Structure 1
Amino acid sequence: MSALGCAAQTTASVTTSWGVIAEPSLPTLVCKTLLATQTPVNGSLDAVDANPANSAPDTAQIQQALDNCPAGQAVHLVKGGAGQSGFLMGPINLKSGVTLWIDSGVTLFASRNPADYDNGVGACGTATANSTPSCNALIRLDHVTHSGIVGGGVIDGRGGSLLTSGPNAGRRSWWDVAYQTKTSNVNQQNPRLLNANGGGSFVLYGVAFENAPNFHIALDAMDGVIAWGIKILSPSLVYSKPGYACPKGTTPDQVTPATCFTPDTVKNTDGFDPGESSHVLLAYSYVSDGDDHVAVKAGSGAGSHDLMFAHNHLYYGHGLSIGSETNTGVSNVAVEDLSVDGYDSPNGVGIRIKSDASRGGVVSAVSYQDICMRNVHEPMAFDAFYSAAKGKSYPWFKGITINGFHDTGSVSYGGGELVFAAYAKYPLQISMQNVQFDGEQPTLAMKGHNGSPSQLPANTDFSFGPTPVSFAGNLETKQGTGDVVTNSVNASSSPVDCSDAFVPMSSVLSDSPI
């Protein structure tokens, strides 16, 4: 499927359970071309909008162009006549049938004035004891169909720039506000970059989403999403140093306001989160952030089903995850040709399914194939005791298969740590073949947490073979915990070829620190 006005190319395609998806292409019909009005300095517009009265000068013209655009056409954002490359705006709404095209070399900068996002609660840009959301997203879609955001440009949420109004004006950035949740029992009131609710046939193609104050892309109750060739990055070089080598005393855990950020200090900056959604494809994309790379959720509605994640590269982050909300079920998820380079972050995760007794449900028919990892602290985590929350909505992870997984090791963590924890009545059912760790084998998490059995692995039905699982012997010693280990390895296999799997993110985003 593709947005109206976008003719499908035939140069690349991905075969999913619901059909063959062709690579999208740029629009052929443009209703309005808008020229950039701002000139960034070293990738920043902070010198332009220090006065909150000048926080979003381009909002009206962009929204008007979208509102007046006929279905099947696009609003095209391009550089100005004198080389201007930036737009500065507050929240906008997309409508059905219309595509927003951000040209290569153009950046759409988000306002850093919390008043522009406030939804009426009056607390946007602060950390509150009340969890009621207070901010609208920068880009909103409400039951929109046949729409999209495409092009080689950037949407920059400016998470590390100081806020310009409210109690935190000149005192904290969005990310400083978010870090308060690590030091106090409060809730951050920060906006997402993109939030879609309902609708479908939505295309994201080529665009970079950077420096989100909160989640980068949140998709709820959507049917039909293609995200192809997108990039997600937090933080960029504007707010950090090459290699994330922030000087001592500059990060949010050490000083407020912070002047340098790392992925481990930009909290809740999830990358791509489809919730209660179906027929979702994320392909040929790159994600590095401060929370989940991907988080498939199913907290309400009809749950999530038929999702494909193919040919993606992940870096810093908490994994390609399912959960933690799985109440209404997640099924038919395929992960193929995935590379994860975790840079030895203490919070780095590879593949993960997580839930707890307050929001658990059935997660089934999840397959992982041709996975390459290195420098990942926790390469695999399947945890039904993700939090200490209580309830009777017990998680059940079943029909999980891993066929082709190669971890080349970690400088800091060796083979890393694996987590397998489930309830006795709802055992984890997982089969593996050709799962190989080079050198030092992974550590099997030994100690339960959040009410799980005291010894792990717990309540897990393992099935191995016919090709090798390099750490299978370690699992066989754990059968006293009530787990079932079926070791039927009777064939040899070469590890998944990872020789070309890992590429620097700076090769696709010039402002990436890695």
Structure 2
Amino acid sequence: MLFLITLISLWLNGPASNDPLPWVKEVGARTVPTKKTVFATASYGTVADGKTLNTKAIQAAIDACAAKGGGIVTFKPGAYLTGSLFLKKGVTLHLDKGVELLGSQSLADYAEIDTRVAGIEMKWPAALINIIDQSNVAVTGEGTVNAQGKPFWDSYWALRKEYEQKGLRWIVDYDAKRPRTLLVSGSSNVTLKGITLQQAGFWTVHILYSDHVTADGLVIRNNIGGHGPSTDGIDIDSSTYILVQNCDIDCNDDNFCLKAGRDWDGLRVNRPTEYIVIRDCVSGAGGGLITFGSETSGSIRHVLARNLKAKGTGVGIRFKSAMTRGGTVEDIYLEDIHMQSVGVPLEVTMNWNPSYSYSTLPDGYTEATLPAHWKAMLKKVEPVERGIPHFRNVQVSRLTVTDARRAVMASGLAESPLENFRLNDVTITANAAGEVDYGRNWTFKNVVIKAKDNQPVVVKNSMGVHL
């Protein structure tokens, strides 16, 4: 009963800085590898010339370290070309300043594994660095992981051009196989600290089906040598008790993103993303400072994002889903956020990017002979009501925005209005104020929106939304 009263009080009053949400102290890795025995990769035959493929030598050092109960795998300064590496229990992969891991530009160096990509379980290339079904693992240091992703960007754009002409925009992201940079999957007590990651072929850091993971002080730079498609920064996917802090991301899609499965397949898996803290972070270029979705099928809840900054980001706070996704996004607290020159500080949509979000098989294809992931994407969500997403109980406090294009763009559905959004101590200057469509019970306290066109926020099809 006391816990229930606490939750009700938190929703009514918000989390005070000296009285955090009850679960906040539980997030992040609870243990880190403690053994200090050093396993120098040079002893296993690595060559730091940036050209010799070192996958087998580095993996041999990792395996030897794990076989001895753990320790630290180290590198001499230099550039090390490698394909997929698989870390194991008790191992710390340490990259000192001056050490650079270079991702192979050949897909043959990334073995296919069973995983989930963009909300669908399927076979996909392993990441450059993989922590799969492990515990007590760390990646640390001031070195760099350069995924060298440009060839994968180019192959994606070529395939997309071909697929769009065939009416297959919805499947191109799944057929254009591109390695992620760092994957944490099915794992617990994982620490990622200090490293720089750049030029991801696809998503940069993907935390999937995992719990108690800390990402601290990561620097992500994916707009080097071009602008890679779908090069998200950090994706937290059907995972729990995750801490992200002190990170600095400049990418070409969502910077910090929470996901939980897509459509029929995501509803089948039905695993939430919950108990997440993202704090003291910065974003530059990218689709969203913090994004919820578009994969919402397993639900996203119990999130605290605090002390975030965005400059030049496309969208600040972004909620996106589709009418075949389902799931509920709720109990979200966003506070102490500063944005400059963003497109839209607050964007909410349940019908995001229809050409990508909805799967329709064009004429000339026989469904029975399609790949398994095509079939999963095409399987209908029934009843259709199960595919309607819900967004509710969102609180935004102490938000300051300058030089935005539009202050708010929020659209619910007649059958699923945006419920119980609370905006406290918000100041936004923008070219236009924007609109709220299908909202219900929005409250505003000390909210100032200064639009250059001197027009107010347009409120349509809503109840209890009064600026």
With structure 1 as the length reference, what TM-score do the two structures score?
A: 0.70
Equivalent-residue separation in structure 1 for 2:69 and 2:216 (angstroms): 20
Question: Is residue 67 from structure 1 mapped to residue 63 from structure 2 by the alignment?
Answer: yes
Corresponding residue for residue 47 of structure 2: 37
3-state SS, counterpart of residue 448 of structure 2 = coil
Whether the 8 Å CA contact 2:84–2:127 is kept in 1: the answer is yes
Corresponding residue for residue 88 of structure 2: 95
Whether the 8 Å CA contact 1:65–1:75 is kept in 2: the answer is no
Deviation at 1:462, TM superposition (A): 5.1
With structure 2 as the length reference, what TM-score do the two structures score?
A: 0.76
- Match for 1:270 among 232, 251, 266? 232
Whether the 8 Å CA contact 2:425–2:447 is kept in 1: the answer is yes
Corresponding residue for residue 187 of structure 2: 199
Question: Is residue 77 from structure 1 mapped to residue 65 from structure 2 by the alignment?
Answer: no
3-state SS, counterpart of residue 184 of structure 2 = strand
Deviation at 1:387, TM superposition (A): 3.6
Q: Which runs of 5+ in 1 are unaligned?
A: 1-13, 40-44, 49-53, 122-130, 161-172, 240-260, 446-456, 488-514
Q: Which runs of 5+ in 2 are unaligned?
A: 1-18, 115-120, 164-171, 262-268, 359-380
Q: Compared with structure 1, are the counterparts of its residues 230 and 72 closer, same or farther at alpha carbon in structure 2 (3 Å cutoff)?
A: farther
Deviation at 1:304, TM superposition (A): 0.9
Deviation at 1:38, TM superposition (A): 2.0
Corresponding residue for residue 341 of structure 1: 311
Whether the 8 Å CA contact 2:32–2:191 is kept in 1: the answer is no
Equivalent-residue separation in structure 1 for 2:235 and 2:160 (angstroms): 22
Equivalent-residue separation in structure 2 for 1:482 and 1:433 (angstroms): 20
The amino acid that maps onto 1:75 is I
Corresponding residue for residue 375 of structure 1: 341
Deviation at 1:302, TM superposition (A): 2.6
What are the superposed Cα offsets for residues 389-420 of structure 1, whole Å, 9 maximum, x if unpaired? Answer: 4652111100011001111115xx3xx35321
Corresponding residue for residue 394 of structure 1: 388
Deviation at 1:466, TM superposition (A): 3.0
3-state SS, counterpart of residue 108 of structure 2 = helix
Whether the 8 Å CA contact 1:74–1:101 is kept in 2: the answer is no
Whether the 8 Å CA contact 2:131–2:183 is kept in 1: the answer is yes
Q: Compared with structure 1, are the counterparts of its residues 428 and 22 closer, same or farther at alpha carbon in structure 2 (3 Å cutoff)?
A: closer
Equivalent-residue separation in structure 2 for 1:98 and 1:64 (angstroms): 12
Question: Is residue 405 from structure 1 mapped to residue 399 from structure 2 by the alignment?
Answer: yes
Corresponding residue for residue 321 of structure 1: 291
The amino acid that maps onto 2:464 is V
Question: Is residue 183 from structure 1 mapped to residue 161 from structure 2 by the alignment?
Answer: yes
Deviation at 1:279, TM superposition (A): 0.3
Deviation at 1:210, TM superposition (A): 0.9
Q: Compared with structure 1, are the counterparts of its residues 460 and 120 closer, same or farther at alpha carbon in structure 2 (3 Å cutoff)?
A: closer
Whether the 8 Å CA contact 1:31–1:73 is kept in 2: the answer is no
Give percent identity, aligned residues only: 23
Whether the 8 Å CA contact 1:38–1:85 is kept in 2: the answer is yes
3-state SS, counterpart of residue 56 of structure 2 = helix
Q: Which of structure 1's runs of 4+ aligned residues deviate more than 4 A?
A: 20-28, 131-134, 471-477
Equivalent-residue separation in structure 1 for 2:159 and 2:291 (angstroms): 22
Comparing 298-307 and 367-376, the one that deviates more:
298-307
- Match for 2:197 among 196, 199, 209? 209
What are the superposed Cα offsets for residues 16-58 of structure 1, whole Å, 9 maximum, x if unpaired? Answer: 734177999996613312347324xxxxx4xx3xxxxx5x2x2
3-state SS, counterpart of residue 19 of structure 1 = helix
Which structure has more helix as a fraction of its residues? 2
Deviation at 1:232, TM superposition (A): 1.0
Corresponding residue for residue 324 of structure 2: 358
Deviation at 1:221, TM superposition (A): 0.6
Comparing 131-140 and 282-291, the one that deviates more:
131-140
What are the superposed Cα offsets for residues 247-273 of structure 1, whole Å, 9 maximum, x if unpaired? Answer: xxxxxxxxxxxxxx1xxx310111111
Deviation at 1:426, TM superposition (A): 1.8
Comparing 111-120 and 353-362, the one that deviates more:
111-120
Question: Is residue 459 from structure 1 mapped to residue 438 from structure 2 by the alignment?
Answer: yes
Equivalent-residue separation in structure 2 for 1:349 and 1:193 (angstroms): 24
Q: Compared with structure 1, are the counterparts of its residues 383 and 364 closer, same or farther at alpha carbon in structure 2 (3 Å cutoff)?
A: same
Question: Is residue 434 from structure 1 mapped to residue 418 from structure 2 by the alignment?
Answer: no
Corresponding residue for residue 126 of structure 1: none
Corresponding residue for residue 364 of structure 2: none
The amino acid that maps onto 1:437 is I
Deviation at 1:117, TM superposition (A): 1.7
Which structure has more strand as a fraction of its residues? 2
Q: Compared with structure 1, are the counterparts of its residues 339 and 288 closer, same or farther at alpha carbon in structure 2 (3 Å cutoff)?
A: same
Equivalent-residue separation in structure 2 for 1:224 and 1:69 (angstroms): 23
The amino acid that maps onto 1:61 is A
3-state SS, counterpart of residue 65 of structure 1 = helix
Aligned CA RMSD, in angstroms, stands at 2.8
Q: Compared with structure 1, are the counterparts of its residues 25 and 85 closer, same or farther at alpha carbon in structure 2 (3 Å cutoff)?
A: farther
Question: Is residue 331 from structure 1 mapped to residue 301 from structure 2 by the alignment?
Answer: yes
Equivalent-residue separation in structure 2 for 1:66 and 1:436 (angstroms): 51
Whether the 8 Å CA contact 1:178–1:268 is kept in 2: the answer is no
Q: Compared with structure 1, are the counterparts of its residues 85 and 232 closer, same or farther at alpha carbon in structure 2 (3 Å cutoff)?
A: same
Deviation at 1:341, TM superposition (A): 0.7
3-state SS, counterpart of residue 398 of structure 1 = strand
The amino acid that maps onto 1:307 is I
Corresponding residue for residue 366 of structure 2: none
How many residues end up aligned between the 2 structures?
A: 388
Q: Which protein has greater RCO, CA pairs closer than 8 Å, 6+ apart? A: 2
Whether the 8 Å CA contact 2:73–2:91 is kept in 1: the answer is no
Deviation at 1:463, TM superposition (A): 2.8
- Match for 2:459 among 464, 478, 481? 478
Equivalent-residue separation in structure 1 for 2:462 and 2:28 (angstroms): 46
Q: Compared with structure 1, are the counterparts of its residues 134 and 143 closer, same or farther at alpha carbon in structure 2 (3 Å cutoff)?
A: closer
Equivalent-residue separation in structure 1 for 2:437 and 2:213 (angstroms): 36
The amino acid that maps onto 1:146 is N
3-state SS, counterpart of residue 398 of structure 2 = strand
